[in-house]
Structure 1
């Protein structure tokens, strides 16, 4: 393979928080909304909360109508992507040609990051990794020809992804932890169901907490109980902390391996 080979793979240029670039998207650019077609948008837990509230659906109904389930590569964890329209352009269901995004203030994190991509899931405070971002180089994009100048850090703050990354931090850490597991250790169906419910079906998780024996089996202070009863974000944070303790902390290595490998052992502990 030579440098002239058009099929040659070009590695993304690594960008850090201080890297600078020019970009602006608005209805006046000729490519407006083209980036909303033929896309693969992984939705985060906070994305689901904001989007289902915006269109006034339960999390269950939103998942059924607007998402497709998958298993995240190298982790065996369930995740969801945005379901595209069955039109000739595979469009986002929330985009209009002239108006643009109809839920712009509640759009997903991946859309907010554009034209940047995130090449690492590490968001832990104090981590050695300074962040690995790259440009999503789509040949049709004319936003790079605009004069607005940014650093990666400024862009993240302007688009609100720094806040979203903070809210999703525990979820991201769960994914990173599972990725570090040996490939031979697989999730049980029970563990996958728990992860999916806490991560995405927040209304079902609330019912699980308040309409089962959950609060009898797990000690939760009264202030937290009242907070998570109404606040989806606080419930998500609570659920992810609980999920981490269930899957990773409060069992010894042998029990942990059994929980992931043997569905029956998971059922008897639940």
Structure 2
């Protein structure tokens, strides 16, 4: 989502994974790092895990220092966005004029996608097809470069498919809440639980292992061991718990982690 002073045009042409386009971004491009200024970067759960581990800080500290809370349109769900620097350019805190992104290998999903956009998950589920489109901005000169890609090659190069896989449970929650719209009211407690589980993995770990959570819910020893050792497994477990809590909680309060979901980063 780009500041309105910049024209952001999404060409209404469907692209597939085999569609070809020219694009490249490097220090030699005249607009290098311009796309890292005056931008609204919504962070996903896996983004935060990657970045807080890269900085060697807790998720509590990362959220407090580097993010601002927003409400996601049409869902009422709280989401963290990158807190920009209070400078003339309103820069991402991790960008430098010469070096570019200081955490490039662990950059957010929104940065990895650019300049390819993807239709919402609800569209994909309705049609059965991936729907991609090109994002063109007046300030971006990367489109004038000669390097050619297919959409699939670009996504693989940028690591987008991996990001999407680990965020899948979160995406399901957002899409499901969006389908209910604002008619499905959430209590303040539910919003706080959603935020903690999705974005504060260290806070969720304390909630699971330092409260009565494991006494209230019957969780297999294998799963308990997995989520104790692997924060990606803990994150996926949290998505399943939220799904049960918010959308399909049975009268006895039981839930079962989704079968077949990949729960580790290996």
TM-score bracket, normalised by the shorter chain, equals 0.7 to 0.9
Structure number with greater Rg is: 1
1:38 shift after superposition: 0.7
Aligned positions of 1:171-250 closer than 5 A: 171-250=170-249
CA distance in 2 between partners of 1:121 and 1:38 (Å): 27
CA contact (8 A) 2:72 2:79 kept: yes
CA distance in 2 between partners of 1:182 and 1:35 (Å): 31
CA contact (8 A) 1:123 1:172 kept: no
In the superposition, the TM-score normalised over structure 2's length comes to 0.87
| Unmatched runs of 5 consecutive residues or more in structure 1 | 1-6, 256-270
Could you tell me which residue of structure 1 aligns to residue 149 of structure 2? 150
CA distance in 2 between partners of 1:157 and 1:201 (Å): 27
CA contact (8 A) 1:123 1:165 kept: no
Report how many aligned residue pairs link the two structures.
245
CA contact (8 A) 1:85 1:93 kept: yes
CA contact (8 A) 1:94 1:101 kept: yes
Secondary structure of 2:27's match?
Answer: coil
Could you tell me which residue of structure 2 aligns to residue 51 of structure 1? 51
1:31 shift after superposition: 1.1
Q: C-alpha deviations, 1:31-67, integer Å up to 9, x for none? A: 1111111111110000000000001111011001101
1:207 shift after superposition: 0.3
The question of 1:42 aligning with 2:19 is answered no
CA distance in 1 between partners of 2:247 and 2:137 (Å): 40
Q: CA RMSD in A?
A: 2.0
CA distance in 1 between partners of 2:66 and 2:181 (Å): 33
Provide closer, same or farther for how the CA distance between residues 247 and 79 of structure 1 changes in structure 2, counting only shifts above 3 A. same
Could you tell me which residue of structure 2 aligns to residue 101 of structure 1? 101
In the superposition, the TM-score normalised over structure 1's length comes to 0.85
CA distance in 1 between partners of 2:181 and 2:142 (Å): 42
